[in-house]
C-alpha cells in the first residue's frame, strides 16, 4: 500500500526510532530529578533536542517549550495570550481556513466574551494583507494566521503579516505545522512572529510532541502569557508536566535530519508533486480539477476533485492500494470547512481528495497509479 497521507502524519524514520529507544529503556530518568546519572542524561538529551529544533526553526533554544503537539500549542497561545492581555484589548484576528484547533479555540474565546474576526480567504485559502489591515483595531491583541494550509498547501504572506503586526504592536502567532521541514525559513529573520506552533509527527518524528516558540526580547525576556497547564513548573513554568523524554529525543533527531536534508527534501517533494500531477492529468484528464495553487505552496500537497465521484467512496475503494484522505484528519467526518472557505460548493467538496507526499516516496512508487 502506498501511503499518500503525509499531511495527516508521517512514518517515523528508523534512525529516529533508534535514537528514542534508550529513553524508553535504560535511560528512563525524569529530567526534573537531580544529581544521579539517569536524571542528568535525560536533561542532556532534552537540551540537545531543543538545540536541534531551534536550529531547524532558526531561533534560540530557550525560546522553545515542548508540548504534546500543535493542538496544544495553538490552545496555549490563543488562551494564554487572551487571558494575560485581556485588560489591553479583547479582539483577535484569524482566518476561515485555519485548523480546527484554532477555530474551535476561537469559538470558545467568543463564549468568554472575546471578539474574533475570521478573515475571508481567496480561492486558494490565503488571507489578504489589506483585509488584515482593515480588521486591525486598537482593541486587537493577537493575530493568528497559519503559515501553510493543511488541505491546499497554500502559503500565506507570513513575512508581510509579521511585519504589519510588528508595526501595529500586535502579537502574531502562526501555525507552522505543515511547513516545518518543507520550506526554508528562519525565525531570526522574522521578528514580527511572536509565537509559532510545530509538531514532530509531520516531519517523521513521533506523535504527541511539538514545541511552542515564544519570542524573547534583547534582554532574554519571553513574551509573557498565562500557562495552559499549571503544576511542577517545567519548561520555565510555561508548560508543567513531566517531559516525554523519548518523544522529545525523537523530535530532536527528526529536526536534525529535516535541517540537514532540507534543500534535498524540498527538491524531491517538488519533483514528486510534478510527477504525480502529470500522472493524474494523463490518466484522468478532464475528469479531474486541481483545487490547489501551483505556486507559492507547501511542496507535496495536491487537492484534487474527481468530477462526479463521491470522495468517501473513492478513499475507501483506494484504501487497499493507496492511502489518501478527503482532507484534514482532524475533521474528516465533516465536509471540509477549508474548501467551503474558498467558495467550493458542497458537491465539489464531496468530490475532493487530498494527496500528500513525503520525501521517502520514490518515482517508482507513484507508478501504482498507472495500474488503477
Ligand X SMILES: Cc1ncc(COP(=O)(O)O)c(C=O)c1O
What residues line the site for ligand X (CB under 6 A)?
69-71, 99, 101, 146, 150, 175, 177-178, 199, 210, 328-330
Residue nearest to ligand X (CB): 69
Out of 59, 106, 165, 330, the active site residue is 330
- Quote the cell numbers at residue 316: 475507501
Question: Annotated catalytic, 330?
Answer: yes
CA trace torsion 95, 97, 100, 102 (10° rounding) = -20
**32 versus 68: smaller Cβ distance to ligand X:** 68
- Name the minimum Å distance from CB 152 to ligand X: 11
**154 versus 311: smaller Cβ distance to ligand X:** 154
Q: How distant, in Å, are the alpha carbons of 60, 183, 216, 224, 275 from that of 220?
A: 10, 27, 5, 12, 46
**11 versus 233: smaller Cβ distance to ligand X:** 11
Q: How distant, in Å, are the alpha carbons of 95, 98, 127, 223, 317 from that of 156?
A: 11, 11, 7, 24, 34
Asked if residue 328 lies in contact with residue 356, where contact means CB atoms within 8 angstroms, the answer is no
- What distance in Å separates the CA atoms of residue 238 and residue 229, rounded to the nearest whole number? 8
Nearest Cα neighbor of 101 from 180, 175, 161, 207 is 175
What is the phi/psi pair of residue 358, to 5°?
-140, 155
Nearest Cα neighbor of 212 from 301, 297, 144 is 144
- Name the minimum Å distance from CB 52 to ligand X: 18
- Name the minimum Å distance from CB 237 to ligand X: 22
- Name the minimum Å distance from CB 301 to ligand X: 10
Residues 6+ positions from 34 with CB-CB distance below 8 Å: none
How would you class 64 by CB atoms within 10 Å of its CB: exposed for 0-12, middle for 13-18, buried for 19 or more?
Answer: buried
- Name the minimum Å distance from CB 336 to ligand X: 13
- Name the minimum Å distance from CB 69 to ligand X: 3
- What distance in Å separates the CA atoms of residue 238 and residue 166, rounded to the nearest whole number? 23
**101 versus 194: smaller Cβ distance to ligand X:** 101
Residues 6+ positions from 127 with CB-CB distance below 8 Å: 95, 119, 120, 121, 145, 156, 157, 161
**211 versus 266: smaller Cβ distance to ligand X:** 211
Run of H or E residues at 66: strand 64-67
**145 versus 366: smaller Cβ distance to ligand X:** 145
Provide the annotated active-site residues. Answer: 330
Amino acid at each position: 500500500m502506498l501511503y499518500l497521507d503525509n499531511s495527516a502524519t508521517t512514518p517515523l524514520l528508523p534512525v529516529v526510532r533508534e535514537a528514542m529507544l534508550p529513553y524508553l529503556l535504560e535511560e528512563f530518568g525524569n529530567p526534573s530529578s537531580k544529581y544521579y546519572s539517569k536524571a542528568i542524561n535525560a536533561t542532556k538529551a532534552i537540551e540537545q533536542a531543543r538545540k536541534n529544533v531551534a536550529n531547524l526553526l532558526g531561533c534560540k533554544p530557550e525560546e522553545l517549550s515542548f508540548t504534546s503537539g500543535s493542538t496544544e500549542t495553538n490552545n496555549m497561545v490563543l488562551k494564554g495570550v487572551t487571558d494575560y492581555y485581556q485588560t489591553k484589548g479583547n479582539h483577535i484576528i484569524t482566518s476561515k481556513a485555519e485548523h480546527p484547533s484554532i477555530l474551535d479555540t476561537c469559538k470558545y474565546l467568543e463564549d468568554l466574551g472575546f471578539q474574533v474576526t475570521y478573515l475571508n480567504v481567496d480561492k486558494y485559502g490565503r488571507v489578504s494583507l489589506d483585509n488584515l489591515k482593515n480588521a486591525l483595531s486598537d482593541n486587537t491583541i493577537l493575530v493568528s494566521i497559519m503559515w501553510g494550509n493543511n488541505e491546499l498547501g497554500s502559503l500565506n504572506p507570513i513575512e508581510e503579516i509579521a511585519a504589519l503586526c510588528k508595526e501595529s504592536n500586535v502579537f502574531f502567532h502562526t501555525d507552522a505545522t505543515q511547513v516545518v521541514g518543507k520550506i526554508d525559513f528562519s525565525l531570526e529573520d522574522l521578528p514580527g512572529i511572536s509565537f509559532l506552533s510545530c509538531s514532530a509527527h509531520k516531519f517523521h518524528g513521533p506523535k504527541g510532541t511539538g514545541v511552542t516558540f515564544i519570542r524573547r526580547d534583547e534582554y532574554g525576556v519571553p513574551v509573557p502569557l498565562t500557562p495552559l497547564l499549571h503544576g511542577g513548573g517545567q519548561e520555565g513554568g510555561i508548560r508543567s508536566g513531566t517531559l516525554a523524554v523519548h518523544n522529545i529525543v525523537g523530535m530532536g533527531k527528526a529536526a536534525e535530519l529535516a535541517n540537514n536534508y532540507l534543500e534535498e527534501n524540498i527538491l524531491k517533494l517538488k519533483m514528486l508533486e510534478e510527477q504525480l500531477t502529470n500522472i493524474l492529468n494523463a490518466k484522468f484528464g478532464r475528469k479531474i480539477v486541481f483545487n490547489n495553487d501551483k505556486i507559492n505552496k507547501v511542496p507535496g500537497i495536491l487537492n484534487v476533485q474527481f468530477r462526479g465521484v463521491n470522495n468517501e467512496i473513492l478513499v475507501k475503494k483506494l484504501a487497499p492500494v493507496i492511502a489518501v484522505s478527503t482532507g484534514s484528519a482532524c475533521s474528516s467526518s465533516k465536509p471540509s470547512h477549508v474548501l467551503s472557505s474558498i467558495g467550493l460548493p458542497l458537491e465539489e467538496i464531496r468530490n475532493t481528495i487530498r494527496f500528500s507526499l513525503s520525501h521517502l516516496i520514490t518515482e517508482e512508487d507513484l507508478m501504482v497509479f498507472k495500474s488503477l
